[in-house]
Amino acid sequence: AGETLRDLSVGVGFSWSTGAVGLGGTAGAATVPREDGSLWVLLEDLPEAPDGKVAAYTLEVRSELHGARRVDLPGGPAPEVVVRFEAPGTVLLTLEGLAESRFLGKVRVWLSPTPWSKERTTVFAPGFAGPDAEGRIRFPAVPPGTYEAVLTLQVGQSETAVVGKFPLAVAAGPNEAVLPFPALHAVVVKGASEWVSVARVGEGGWSFSSAVGPDGRATLDGLPEGEYRFQSGERRKTAGVPGTAEVDLGTPP
């Protein structure tokens, strides 16, 4: 309540657009402490919007103990911005069933604010770490509010897939929740050549690919319930999971 925080780091984001066409990115920033505990933020080569486009700049301020906040950066040579933090919550999530599954070590979790607003940021575990050997993951500084706990799985060569989303309310102080790790399935694709891809059909769809063995087969693992399109070259088929253990794309030419 009125305390000036000193464990702060600062970043600057920018975007500009005309209609549906836009461009964005981040720019460097350095901070200089002032006697009253506030900071001068020195912007490094902040780009200007091209002619005919409208620029928008945001200031993202992170506190190790209080989380992150994002505010609009007004124009002018030296605008003054006040960023206010709430008393944070700590969150301990347990993914029930993950510790005994073959997917331990391949899962990451983050907290996405709902509803979305430009003032609130996605919260990651320190070092973008995943759940531990017991299927637990801790978030030490989460601003109070409502979130979606988003579960992702490393799949294919280097891709990630969203395998679960759960609503989560965070209050100041300790918060704990047990979330069921979703059932994930494997499908063997045969009759493929070189590479085979799988794409989840519908809203929130995603895709990944896998190399095909010399026998024309590939195993695509980590698929949550849903409808999928399997494709290799010009050959493709759609099938539902669970209920499909094997997809035959036909004999390669």
Q: Could you tell me if residue 79 is inside a domain? A: no
Shared domain for 170 and 214, answered yes or no, is no
Is there a domain that residue 60 lies in? yes
Give the predicted TM-score (pTM) of the model: 0.77
Contacts of 49 (CB under 8 A, 6+ apart): 16, 55
Q: Is residue 141 within 8 Å of residue 64, measured between CB atoms? A: yes
Q: Tokens 């002619």 appear where? A: 51
Residue 128 has φ and ψ, to the nearest 5°, of 55, 35
6: pLDDT confidence band, cut at 50, 70 and 90?
A: low
> The tokens 């997917």 sit on which residue?
103
Q: Answer for the pair 131, 168: CB distance below 8 angstroms, yes or no.
A: no
Tally of domains within the chain = 3
Please indicate, yes or no, if residue 2 is contained in any of the structural domains. Answer: no
- Are both 106 and 176 inside the same structural domain? yes
CATH (domain of 93)? 2.60.40.1120
Do residues 228 and 150 share a domain? no
Asked if 166 and 215 sit in the same domain, the reply is: no
- Torsional sign, CA 60, 61, 64, 65: negative
Tens of pLDDT, residues 39-95: 677 665 566 666 666 667 777 777 777 777 777 776 655 667 777 778 899 999 999
Structure tokens at 149: 């706990």
Q: Is the pLDDT of residue 227 over 80?
A: yes
On the question of pLDDT at 142 being above 90, the answer is yes
Domain of 211, in residue numbers? 185-248
Same domain, 65 and 105: no
Query: Is residue 93 a contact partner of residue 130, using CB atoms and an 8 Å limit?
Result: no
Whole-number pLDDT of residue 244: 92
Q: Are residues 55 and 111 in the same domain?
A: no
Same domain, residue pair 123 and 144: yes
pLDDT of 22: 46
82 assigned to some structural domain: no
Question: Is pLDDT of 4 > 70?
Answer: no
Residues 114, 164 share a domain: yes
The pairing of strands 246-248 and 185-190 is parallel
**68/118 same-domain check:** no
Closest listed residue to residue 197, CA positions, set 251, 249, 250: 249
Instruction: Mark which of 20, 44, 72 sits at the end of a domain.
Output: 72
Dist. CA 227–CA 220, nearest whole Å: 14
pLDDT, residue 194, reads 87
Distance from C-alpha of 119 to C-alpha of 121, rounded to nearest angstrom: 7
Q: Is the pLDDT of residue 206 over 90?
A: no
User: For 7-34, b where at least 16 C-beta lie within 10 A, e where not — what string?
Assistant: ebebbbbbebeeeeeeeeeeeebeeeee
Of 159, 91, 96, nearest in space to 125 by CA? 91
Distance CA 146, CA 168 (A): 6
Helical residues (DSSP H) of the chain, grouped into ranges: none
Q: Are 165 and 195 members of one domain?
A: no
Higher-confidence position of 56 and 107: 107
Residue 78 maps to a domain: no
Are 102 and 142 in the same domain? yes
Q: What is the mean pLDDT of residues 155-161?
A: 78
Question: Tell me: the pLDDT tens digits for 165-204?
Answer: 999 999 999 999 999 999 999 999 999 888 999 999 986 6
Report yes or no on 80 lying in a domain: no
Q: Is residue 34 over pLDDT 60?
A: yes
User: Within the chain, how many helices (H) and strands (E) appear?
Assistant: 0, 19
**Are residue 48 and residue 104 in the same domain, yes or no?**
no
